[in-house]
Structure 1
Amino acid sequence: MALVATYLAVITASLSLGYYTGTTSDQLPEVPLHRQFEAHSDADDSDSESESEDGDVSSLTALDDCKLVLAVRTDLGMTTGKIAAQCSHATLACYKTLLSKNPSLLRKWAQAGYLKSVVRCSDEDALLVLQAQAQSLNLCARSIQDAGRTQIAANTTTVLGIAGPTALIEQLTGELSAF
């Protein structure tokens, strides 16, 4: 029953964020695919999370459908609400990265209906390997570290968001179990 509640919370949070971003996606600037974007560094504008920088996603093309996969660490024992919050942070981090570094890919993701899925990741080592693999493919890979104010110790990596062309995402995460 807790698994169903967790899944529903993650879906609700993702759909809410997807709806919001979808209603504003027509405001994205038109930028040619070939344009190379400057390095992007955010100040951490979340008071409960920090995001690690990812590789250069400006070279990704929007030739096929795009999606987001959220890899959640299952070894932490996070509650349903905590998982939903962490997934929301990862979704927003990927959105902000694509908005800055590859708006064309972001538009393609919007056209695909902001496809997203949530998968299980056994522990931090598996999450770090997955992040390194995603970055080696130049995918948008953003990990979320908790601030440590509630259930999780400070600076613990909780979720990894990976966004990009569906074919590459599936190649990387297709073997992971759905949440």
Structure 2
Amino acid sequence: MKQVIVMRADLGMSKGKLAAQACHASIGAYKKADERIIRDWELEGGKKVVVQVKSQQELFEIYELVKAAEIPSYLVTDAGHTELPPSTVTCLGIGPEKEEKIDKITQDLKLLK
């Protein structure tokens, strides 16, 4: 079981902004997950992995695959109060769900650095 957060690396967000956006994605996707999946994920330690994409287009492509696979997800759109223009899509929370199901979509994405 795991959760994956897919961050846009092209926005130049500060570390604090990245962390806040990742938290929005994590909680948003968590709220959409089935209770049994959440329980299993928490019992296994609540594994989270943060990866990156290079563009909004790449993020949307991942999002479409996740929706088609019926994995709980949450697309984060920033309100624009600090660093980014309003309605900037920043990241995607995926899962929690079985690793194998998520890995089919995200296994080739690089870790966020």
Task: Assess same fold via TM > 0.5.
Answer: yes
CA RMSD after TM alignment: 0.7
Indicate which of 2, 8, 21 corresponds to 1:73: 8
CA distance in 1, matches of 2:56, 2:73: 15
Gaps of 5+ in 1: 1-65
Q: CA deviation at 1:170?
A: 1.1
Q: How many residues align?
A: 111
Indicate which of 96, 103, 110 corresponds to 1:170: 103
Larger strand proportion of the pair: 2
State the TM-score, normalized to the length of structure 1: 0.61
Structure of higher RCO (CA pairs closer than 8 Å, 6+ residues apart): 2
| Percent identity over paired residues | 32
Q: CA deviation at 1:97?
A: 1.3
TM-superposition CA deviations, 1:108-139 (whole Å, max 9, x none) = 11111111100011111000010000010000
CA distance in 1, matches of 2:15, 2:70: 31
Divergent runs of 4+, >6 A: none
Q: 1:116: which partner in 2?
A: 48
Q: 2:77: which partner in 1?
A: 145
Query: Conserved in 1, the CA contact under 8 Å of 2:21 and 2:76?
Result: yes
Q: Which has the greater radius of gyration?
A: 1
State the TM-score, normalized to the length of structure 2: 0.95
Query: Conserved in 1, the CA contact under 8 Å of 2:80 and 2:87?
Result: yes
